Structure 1
């Protein structure tokens, strides 16, 4: 199974320049604990509010003229949806997005605002519907994570961390869902800054990736189980095939955080870090705040992967 290489990562970095924001690596002095320090990579500052624009644009920009004419179809709970819609609008491509009907309204509305056609389906239909549309209309399928171009685009997050990090950096924390982000980041870190550990963080209620890494095989969790977590962007029931290969090759470990810890971290990032993070975007920071002792690192970087959350939910979490 092919793994993304440094050449593909560098090419993606050049391709998305001027489209995706080169987000800063921000110190978080409020999170210092003795000799332990934290840096944040705020991907919530991207045009669509999440890192997904990197992979989406990298993939769509490489479509042939004939493929662009056909249009694209994707499925997502929200952040990949918005990224595909945004990139497609920039490139003049028709986009049809399948979203579970449990998706936050703010993500659905944002996806439509970029001109995409949105189809809301039951969560158990989100995987099958795009294939049916592709067969019926000839759309080009753009997967959310199981694609080398998507992985390479997301991996530019890791290239930037490696370029901007202090020499003392020893641990990078990354949210895990279908695995596109952690695959790209882990490849970039291991290929450019060897010796730095890459650790995934996911909710206890959707810990299929941790189970898969420790079992040495891809395991799938029932949708009914993964949909219990507040982190709606991390409810994918299994790692993708390509991401699993990258996780096995490059990821040092995966830890989990509780729902209470995720909720608490959203509030901490807003109050102390002045960053609006959705629950999915807060899990890596939660890993630092609540698992640092077991991770045994000294200088951490955590990816704040997205900030698209309902205002009402943010208000509730801040009031808790």
Structure 2
């Protein structure tokens, strides 16, 4: 036997071992819903998007019901810059006036949403798995209220107007459940846009949408794909597991800082609303979702009740 043939045989045995080790996890997630927040920074280059799409298709073929919620902050910023519109942020939320809202909806519900859905459809073509691009405006999926922020100035509470920035108040998951349990293998891809009772369009933080949707669907897992390995401790080491109480303490003690705070807050809210567990992980790493769901050691930080 040549060295090349031996190498191929060794790789074949290694693949078989991997599949055998994954079997208990595949059974654990059979017919369970997994909500995936695919972040603007985690989207990366075209090759990263193709890998994400292929892994999402694989999840569907293995019996899971993946539901994708995507962001697009960096892409919106680039488009606004091209249009000569200056962005302002308060507490991590983009101040969204009418021109900004128009651009945000165009980028999120248009270019990004349809591109992700298309990559999934292309990746799943042989198995007839299809991505379906939606926004929170479709079929009354996400109803919102305007976000109101206040700050104290000289002992007086001052209201900060963020414009067309909304917070989910009601999720109607009928459209999503209809798609994921349909005879065809559909993967919903949802843009974080919602409507108020008066029919006004609002931009929503994508992490918040993913958490609210995961709670409404009683998802077994929510995966927050971002551009960091997970929650890091004071020593810079990755924290593999946290309870909700420990996550709250990490925020209070300043262990979690910057953009990790809203992610942990989203994870806490999702778990408290019925999601079994939330994982914050690096979406830029190839096959990060598969490593998290189908191996013993997982990937990222797991937050549970």
Query: What TM-score do the two structures reach when normalised by structure 1?
Result: 0.34
Higher helix share: 1
Higher strand share: 2
